Structure 1
Amino acid sequence: MSMPKATHIALACTALLVVHADVRAQSEAAPSETNTEVLPIVEVTVSKRRQKAIDVPSALTTVTQQQIENLGIERFADYASLVPNLVQVYGNSAGSGVVVMRGMYTGPQQTTNTTATYFGETPISSSGTLAVGAFFTPDADLFEIQRIEVLKGPQGTLYGATALGGLMRIVPQQPDTRNFDARVRLGVSKVQDGGAGFGGKLSFNAPLSDGVAGLQVSAFGRRDGGFTKNVVTGEADLGRVDSKGASIALLLTPNKETQISLRLLSQDADTNGPLYQENMPGTGTPADGERGFSSVFTPRYKSHLDLAEATVQYESSLGTITGSAGRAKPHVTLQGDYLTYALALPALGAATAKGEQDVRLTKDTAEVRLATRRFGAFEGLAGLFYTKEDSSFRTTIAGLNNAGNPVAGPGANIITSTPAGTYKETALYGSGTYYFADNFDIGAGVRYAKNKQDYTITRSGLLGNPPLVALASEDSATTYHLVGRYRPAQDWSLFARYATGYRPGGPQTNPAAPNRTFDPDTVKSYEFGTKAYLMDRRLGLDVTVYHIDWSKVQLNALLGGLSVMGNAGRSEVDGAEAQLSWRDRALMLGASFGYNDARLTELGSTTAPLLGAAVGDSLPGSPKMTASLFGDYAFASTGPASWTMGATVRYRTSANAAYSVLPAANPNYVMPGFATLDVRAKVEWDRYSLRAGIDNVTDKNAVVAYSTTRISAAQPINSVATLSRPRTFTLTLGASF
């Protein structure tokens, strides 16, 4: 049932009233930036102009470089749990999985993104419907990262397709053109009842010409110990991740108006074995013991990312002109035990089937935009965007015998299928803000985008009919936003925002499906929020409430063992988010809370019954509540060394793994809620630091994603429960020069 508009207004007013009335009385002069007892003013560029985070009229979470250092953040999962209503599901290896914001996820068969991801100015998530972008979770190394900006709610006006739930932007550190510095970090780790890990990171910055050119180079290598076991082969400490990478950046400032940035990045991760255990179908009971699975072979997973970008900024009399060009090349290889096909084809005489998915994308983008200065009461933004994606998604399924070797005859190639093709999109966008007064303004924006998709699918094997298919589709979309902002005081902002977003439609790949194409899905979002600094900027507060209408929801299911895509009717999402921060000389605290109720309100699709979906079902994967609390305390120092201690608590409630109607090939399982605790201590002296930490102190074996992949409900196939990392001990030595 749709939430009444009066309820939205009441929720918004309730949230806004939590800001104490005396905020208006605070001094308009900000506390000194050198004062260590106040929260720092964070500037962001996620709205495509530089502004204070408190002035962005949208829900925004910023993870700063200091937080990355203090909390020992290494990977996506470390910071995702600090962001309200942001989770990763179906991630059985490093660099894989689906990024879900505000519950906008339809189940383990979802193949396209609802959250867009950028590294700097370059998008690294795909938009094409057959590029299978949802299989890739960008997990960039964070050693030389300035901040992570997470902008929630549809961002169709500024960022276009697939930003239905929001946007995640990783902002790299820029080279310094005046100062030389170098940093090194060495670490070791040990997983409880699992493997050992180690790693090293190195970076240096050198001015090539004082104030004109700077060069930054960094490299890393890391092993994360594994913790799962294959009870058939006897292998243990699986899920071990070996990752490495390097980046080089050049910054040129030939004059005070011009800045040129060039960057190359390459990194990969190789995961030996999955991060899951097998459970009895649709239950929480391990089928092969805790953190165990059974297969005649051990799956491997690989992810790789190459990125190149060039950005030019010029400060003109009109404003900042930015031109950027980038190429992102993610490549993911996923293996899995596809027993379902061996059971469906008993004549093959196969013990199981080995499936491998090889997903490749080359995404070229170019953008030019003007962010104007403020002329009188008006400031504006206008831009032109173009992207071209060349993608391929090769799937092979082959029968194996009990020794893990390929079977002879037709079972050696159950199917080999490769959709490959091109997605092209051109977009024009613009927005403007009119200031009725210095503390009250209204903004609006619009984006028109047109895309064209051409794909060819080649198939062979037992299920490889028809052997060759050519597919094409075109569509266009107009997205827009309207926002009002009121600032009762310098450090207090209120906003109301209406925004839309879309995800492209495309051609149907399953020859047995009744629909040959499927439509774009769209969202409309209503959002109210407040941001404030209180108590002389020691306390920071950010509260948002929202309602989202999601129409023509794209659903993916299996029909005859092959993916089928279609549109459901509608889903609705209601939620609230709150973030607090506190700082004084000795203590730094942060807290976040998210409530999210995402549910299916209309069906109207051939795929919804295949998924076992019913009106009123919660969308799978995301908990209704998430929360985190972290803090660090600095002890008074009487000698050359300084000490800090800290802890992080992460919490999420239960979540459905699938839909409600039974029997179904993918039965629902309610993943239990859980909490984890991390503790840490750090000592710093001179140019050195030593950090010790224990993650998941209570060794919670938590289920973070859950799926059952069967062609029919009668097949005796275990479910797969993706797990949190066990208790892990870390020790890191750092030095700066």
Structure 2
Amino acid sequence: MALPSAPRRSGPRIAHWGAALAVGWLGCGAALAQRGAPDRAVAVPAGRLDAGLRRLAAATGWQILFDPALVGDRRTRAIVSTTDPPGALARMLSGSGLKARRLAGGVFIIVTAAPPRRPASASATPPPATVEDEIVVTALKRATALDDTELSIATLSAATIEARNVTDLRAAARLLPGLAAFNTSALQQRLAVRGVSATGEATVGVYYGESPIAGPSGTGADPGASAPDIDLVDIERIELLKGPQGTLYGASSMGGTLRILPHAVDLDRSGAWVEAQGDLVAHGGAGGALVAMANPVLVPDRLAARLVAYHRTLGGYIDNDRLESADRGRLQREGVRIQVAWQPDQAIRLDTLYLHQRTGLDDGGFWDPALGRYRVAQPTLTPNSDRLDLASATLHATLDGAVVTATGSYLRRRIVRQIDYTAVLARQRDSVAGCLRLAGLPTGASCDAAARTAYHAYVDARLPAILYQPNRLTGISGEVRMAAPAGAAFAWTLGAFVEDRRDAVDSYAAHAGADDGRLVRPLDIIGLRTIATGFDQQAVFAEATHAVVPRLSATAGLRLYRYRRQGSGTVPVPNIITGSAMATGGRYTGSAGGSNLKGELAYRVPGGPLVYALVSEGFRPGGINVTPGLAADERSFGADHLWNYELGAKAGRGRWSIEAAAYVIDWHAATFAVTSANGAFIYNVNLSNVAIRGGEVRGSVVAGPFRLAAAASFTDARLGEDTLLGTTEGMGRRGDRLPNLPQWAYLVSGEARLGSWTLGADVSGNGAAPTGFNAGNPYYGRTGARIEVAAHAGWQAGRWRLDANIDNLFDAIAPVRLQSSAFGARQLYSARPRTLSLRARTDW
């Protein structure tokens, strides 16, 4: 049987490809035209080093970042007129004990020069603990010190990620209070920042490098339910930007943006490392990982590559009593990342990236607390998989009067979902409507005893059952940004963004084997729906910052956008039991456009903190419901919109830093999912307004070899009006808390560097959360509070490094989400049991 695919529009499709490539590479011609130009002559007089660095930055257009306390009163010799700016910078720092670390786009960071490496056999005293090497971030599309960034932002450095063996977003979220990550299904998760969580387009934009990554719409028009979970191997930094980011990020993000930044290609030095890991999971099986990285320099300072390959297995720990199957929930993730960097001169750098990852989970990953710890009685086995391919090219160019960054990306995801469908079909066993459909009788007629018997036999013969849903997504995007050079009195950013996505899903209701619970092959089809959707958007955005008076700066931002969405569906095989035969074929479209604003004032108190007041606006596109049995006015749902009002302050000096923010969010026409009366279908509606109030604080302090850090967030997200639109999560009254969002989240972390050893521990957790709204919801419940303790130890000598990690040290039941619906009750997703990991790594 030939299945329909995503809508085909050859002419417009080609136009979208052309537009994406044009926007993604806008400015490349001008940048490449600069390639042959000789470096301009620069000269720096003798005097204070800090003044000399500023003069060099102004002359070259570079961003040279340094901590004034680090540079201090150091002096520099005179640099006579030269056309070799990198050489001039090296001569300025010679003998100072400092060095320049280079990033992409003409950005240099002045850091302490590392002492020569001692032989492995020699005794060495490691440097004292310092504030993590996450002081420089690029959240504002320019490199800034973390404590001088006019934005609420949380980061994880490479050192934190590696020491704590953070390999996925769930583990990262434990270290980033304010970021919620909870399961939506097996191998699927939704991200939320500051309580902004809803179905439909993602409320948190996820970037890998410079590329946005989306999820497929599925049957519920819910791309946000499939946040990408890329293995966090060889990652330089993770940045969590809180609040709307549409005036700086092309893909926009109503609640926040999560940036995963892999290590850049090193053009200066070749290197490689290999790491092997073994895991033991309490109550379950074993696992392990093998990871390798190579960074060959092909042409010194000009051309190099970075190659990363990994294979990771996490042991299962859930037992299925009905099917007598043990240690289910085993996860495998394998992938490769290929990066190539070419820098023909100091003003231009081209970075290309290809990422391929395959993830597989051998079952649903949840368990039933009523049956005992890590036990389930599901009648089927439901493996899931996610294959992701991402290719991108990014050009960084420093021109006269501007810095240009242009990116073009291609994304492809292939997700295969399997969901137990037995309970949904079994609920329809006494359905009069189902009996009439099987008997071919009109609505309003009655089924006699013989018809009911035949219908019961028909339903029973198709149990157990699985929803088998292959999802296909392809997307292209292009983004170009131009920004003022470093040191400009008037800082500005101007950008354009285009995106074109196409996805399709084939939703089979199919019979599973009664003995082993596996999907019967070839498929024994009970019903089949196909849905194809398209989404394209265009946006231009700008932001500018100007010093009103000394130490007081004002920022204004604007985003103009337009989007168009299409959807179509067919029912090649009607499902008589649930009534998908009621669906009618057809094509549905919707489009909208508008603008978002941002305004901010920031004041740097002399010798004190940075204080800022921010107002920002966010939006999400609406969508199409391709769902059986909906009325015409239910076929689409509109865009939602919010205003974020924020006050914040941050300060840091040498060995301590602190940051705090308070915010109020007014969210209008929030989108949530409701379920059809028979529990078989899900669709989206716009609810009433939502009021969110909250605050967050983080701090760190270093004393000798010891470092202590703490962070906490409070989020109170509630309905502002009675909303009685559906039968499950769409029903709520004023004051009801939004589902799955704990009010409190916290982290306390300590670490010590003693000789060749690093020792540390983290305590993280969050409060309880409702599982849905409580206005007549039969599935209403609460996900309990979570607390986890993790410990890590590392030993390094020369090129060898050994690490031990214990996650969930006290083997606590740390719930992530308790989910109940017509698909099944008491499905508890929780943190993994106590897991011991041992790793060995060698560098060369």
For normalisation by structure 2, the TM-score amounts to 0.78
Matched, 1:328 2:411: yes
Indicate if the aligned counterparts of 1:380 and 1:431 stay in contact, CA closer than 8 A.
yes
Decide whether aligned partners of structure 1 residues 147 and 490 sit closer, same or farther in structure 2, where only a CA change above 3 A counts: farther
Pick aligned residue for 1:541 from 658, 663, 668? 658
CA distance in 1, matches of 2:519, 2:619: 45
Q: Secondary structure at the match of 1:97?
A: strand
Q: How many residues align?
A: 684
Q: What is residue 254 of structure 1 aligned with on the other side?
A: 344
Q: What is residue 143 of structure 1 aligned with on the other side?
A: 233
For normalisation by structure 1, the TM-score amounts to 0.89
Pick aligned residue for 2:685 from 555, 559, 566? 566
Cα displacement (A) at 1:193: 1.6
Indicate if the aligned counterparts of 1:89 and 1:99 stay in contact, CA closer than 8 A.
yes
Q: What is residue 31 of structure 1 aligned with on the other side?
A: 70
**Which residues in structure 2 correspond to 1:636-651 (within 5 Å)?**
637=755, 642-651=756-765
AA aligned opposite 2:248: L
* CA-based RMSD: 2.3
CA distance in 2, matches of 1:272, 1:407: 13
Q: What is residue 730 of structure 1 aligned with on the other side?
A: 837
Pick aligned residue for 2:169 from 47, 66, 76? 76
Indicate if the aligned counterparts of 2:751 and 2:761 stay in contact, CA closer than 8 A.
yes
Cα displacement (A) at 1:607: 3.5
CA distance in 1, matches of 2:518, 2:609: 65
Cα displacement (A) at 1:228: 0.5
Q: What is residue 208 of structure 2 aligned with on the other side?
A: 119
Q: What is residue 359 of structure 2 aligned with on the other side?
A: 269
Q: What is residue 3 of structure 1 aligned with on the other side?
A: none
Q: What is residue 702 of structure 2 aligned with on the other side?
A: 583
Indicate if the aligned counterparts of 1:678 and 1:696 stay in contact, CA closer than 8 A.
yes
CA distance in 2, matches of 1:225, 1:485: 49
Cα displacement (A) at 1:597: 0.2
Decide whether aligned partners of structure 1 residues 710 and 318 sit closer, same or farther in structure 2, where only a CA change above 3 A counts: same
Matched, 1:236 2:326: yes
Decide whether aligned partners of structure 1 residues 127 and 150 sit closer, same or farther in structure 2, where only a CA change above 3 A counts: farther
Decide whether aligned partners of structure 1 residues 400 and 182 sit closer, same or farther in structure 2, where only a CA change above 3 A counts: closer
Matched, 1:661 2:775: yes
Q: What is residue 105 of structure 1 aligned with on the other side?
A: 197
**Which residues in structure 2 correspond to 1:202-221 (within 5 Å)?**
202-221=292-311
Cα displacement (A) at 1:680: 1.7
Residues 169-227 of structure 1: per-residue CA shift (max 9 Å, x gap): 11111111121111111010000120000111000111110111111101000111111
Indicate if the aligned counterparts of 1:260 and 1:313 stay in contact, CA closer than 8 A.
yes
CA distance in 1, matches of 2:788, 2:129: 29
Cα displacement (A) at 1:701: 1.5
Matched, 1:166 2:256: yes
Cα displacement (A) at 1:584: 4.0
Pick aligned residue for 1:49 from 137, 142, 155? 142
CA distance in 2, matches of 1:91, 1:210: 47
CA distance in 2, matches of 1:445, 1:74: 35
AA aligned opposite 1:120: G
**Which residues in structure 2 correspond to 1:312-711 (within 5 Å)?**
312-346=395-429, 347=456, 348-349=459-460, 350-373=462-485, 377-400=489-512, 402-403=514-515, 412-459=524-571, 460-462=573-575, 463-489=580-606, 492-514=609-631, 515=633, 516-534=635-653, 537-559=654-676, 560=678, 561-603=680-722, 606-607=725-726, 611-635=730-754, 637=755, 642-662=756-776, 664-665=777-778, 667-710=779-822
Decide whether aligned partners of structure 1 residues 296 and 485 sit closer, same or farther in structure 2, where only a CA change above 3 A counts: same
Structure 2 segments unaligned to the other structure (5+ residues): 1-65, 72-110, 113-126, 430-455
Higher mean C-alpha deviation, range 457-466 or range 719-728:
457-466
Indicate if the aligned counterparts of 2:334 and 2:358 stay in contact, CA closer than 8 A.
yes
Residues 445-477 of structure 1: per-residue CA shift (max 9 Å, x gap): 111111111222122322233352211111112
Q: Secondary structure at the match of 1:340?
A: helix
CA distance in 1, matches of 2:129, 2:828: 44
Residues 588-611 of structure 1: per-residue CA shift (max 9 Å, x gap): 222110100001112456337763
Higher mean C-alpha deviation, range 370-379 or range 165-174:
370-379
Higher mean C-alpha deviation, range 328-337 or range 172-181:
328-337
Decide whether aligned partners of structure 1 residues 512 and 342 sit closer, same or farther in structure 2, where only a CA change above 3 A counts: closer
Pick aligned residue for 2:279 from 165, 185, 189? 189
Decide whether aligned partners of structure 1 residues 545 and 391 sit closer, same or farther in structure 2, where only a CA change above 3 A counts: same
Matched, 1:300 2:383: yes
Percent identity at matched positions? Answer: 25
Decide whether aligned partners of structure 1 residues 249 and 405 sit closer, same or farther in structure 2, where only a CA change above 3 A counts: closer
Q: Secondary structure at the match of 2:162?
A: helix
Higher mean C-alpha deviation, range 617-626 or range 503-512:
503-512
CA distance in 2, matches of 1:614, 1:162: 30
Indicate if the aligned counterparts of 2:511 and 2:525 stay in contact, CA closer than 8 A.
yes
Residues 215-249 of structure 1: per-residue CA shift (max 9 Å, x gap): 11010001111111111111111111111000110
Pick aligned residue for 1:290 from 349, 364, 373? 373
AA aligned opposite 1:675: I
Indicate if the aligned counterparts of 2:675 and 2:728 stay in contact, CA closer than 8 A.
no
AA aligned opposite 2:207: Y
CA distance in 1, matches of 2:748, 2:129: 20
